[in-house]
Structure 1
Amino acid sequence: METLPLTPPYGPELVGTAGERDVLERFLDFYRRVTVSKVYGLPDEDTKRRLVPSLTTLAGLLRHLTIVERNWFQHVLAGRPATADGGDGGWSVDDVTVDELVVEYEQECERSRAVAAGLTLEDVGSHPELGVVSLRWVYVHMIDETARHAGHADILRELTDGVTGAV
């Protein structure tokens, strides 16, 4: 697995005066990259080790975020059929390597970008519980979801080997 450098400027700093869409996309991509960076250099067993009482692991965060990306962009916005997540939100990762999880997540993020590229911020999709949501709303939700899990990943990485920060 190659090293993922996150050296300043990280991305959000580059769009301080950009339009709304550029800002939303840059922040989401930044947190996607931070999350992926948290598993770099770690063996599979460390990424799958439970360090908190929940099922949350570094590897599980990647799978979970892959499913979240797929749900919001492919299912809700593009109207494609939902896919099963195994019923656990994607937290079970015994069947894959961390390298496979990174590839799967990065591919799903690319598919999300492709869906979004064909939409305006005002275009909408239908969520089974929330009803109609715009791409703008999905971007904000995904920034929230991905940033929250990037923070979880930062804590788990620190507990694993002491590494902290956007690395």
Structure 2
Amino acid sequence: MVETRLDPTIAPVLARTGDERSVLESFLDFHRAVVLRKLRGVSETDATHRLLPSATTLAGLVKHLTLVERNWFSALLAPGPGDVYLTSEEDAAASFALADGDTVERLAAAYEAQCARSREVAARFDLGHVVPHPQLGEVSLRWVLVHMIEETARHAGHADILRELTDGSTGAL
């Protein structure tokens, strides 16, 4: 069966009277799409160019968000063999580091694949499903979705600023 997905940039508008889950998921997908739109259309050089004193680059943001998706959905909610939930600041900082072969398209494809996996994992549970968290005690899927909206939106804002500094492009669309 082929899944038909709405354009994530209009999904929050369409979900404005939807149930809680559809609202949460549509806003998360909206911010995921914004991040990808900020990455795509820039050169490999521009995607990896540091415009700030930190390691934050357009490419690095997407690589980081791929790890964040994997951490919160796969490793925490549905861990498989060898999955470890990362908790340290060093892990978070290292997730921005780019390796040889981290091209715009490879990073975008990895992020899209991880987001699809995150959707699959989340779909298996009710919003009230609770799992142990190594630092917070317990968290629900509802909390994870809200946290991921916050995390992704924050980094979409960073990507917007980096893209504006790169080529003047601004805005979510």
Q: TM-score, structure 2 length as denominator?
A: 0.87
SS of residue matched to 1:126: strand
SS at match of 2:118: helix
Contiguous gaps of at least 5 residues in structure 2: 1-6
Distance 1:90 1:122 in 2: 29
Output one character per residue of 1:97-140: Cα deviation in whole Å (capped at 9) or x when no partner: 11100000000000000000100001122221112100000000
Aligned to 2:4: none
TM-score w.r.t. structure 1 length?
0.90
Letter in 2 for 1:15: A
Q: Hey, what does 1:3 align to over in structure 2?
A: none
Q: Which amino acid aligns with 1:79?
A: P
* Conserved 8 A contact 1:49-1:57: yes
Seen in structure 2, the aligned counterparts of structure 1 residues 111 and 166 have a Cα distance that, compared at 3 Å, is: same
Could you report, residue by residue, the CA deviation over 1:28-86 in whole angstroms, capped at 9, with x for unpaired residues?
Answer: 00000000000111111100000111110000000000000000001111133227798
Q: Which amino acid aligns with 2:37?
A: S
Q: Any gaps of 5 or more consecutive residues in structure 1?
A: 1-6
Q: Is the 8 A contact 2:130 2:138 kept in 1?
A: yes
The count of corresponding residues between Structure 1 and Structure 2 is 161
Deviation at 1:24, TM superposition (A): 0.2
Q: Which amino acid aligns with 1:74?
A: S
| C-alpha separation in 1, matches of 2:103 and 2:77 | 29
- 1:124-163 per-residue CA deviation (whole Å, 9 max, x = no partner) reads 2222111210000000000000000000000000000000
> Aligned partners of 1:33, 1:8: CA distance in 2, in Å?
6
**Residue 144 of structure 1 aligns with which residue?**
150
Q: Report what 1:35 is aligned to.
A: 35
**Aligned match of 1:53:** 53
The offset of 1:94, in angstroms, is 3.3
Looking at structure 1, the residues matched to 167 and 9 of structure 2 have their Cα atoms a distance apart, in angstroms, of 25
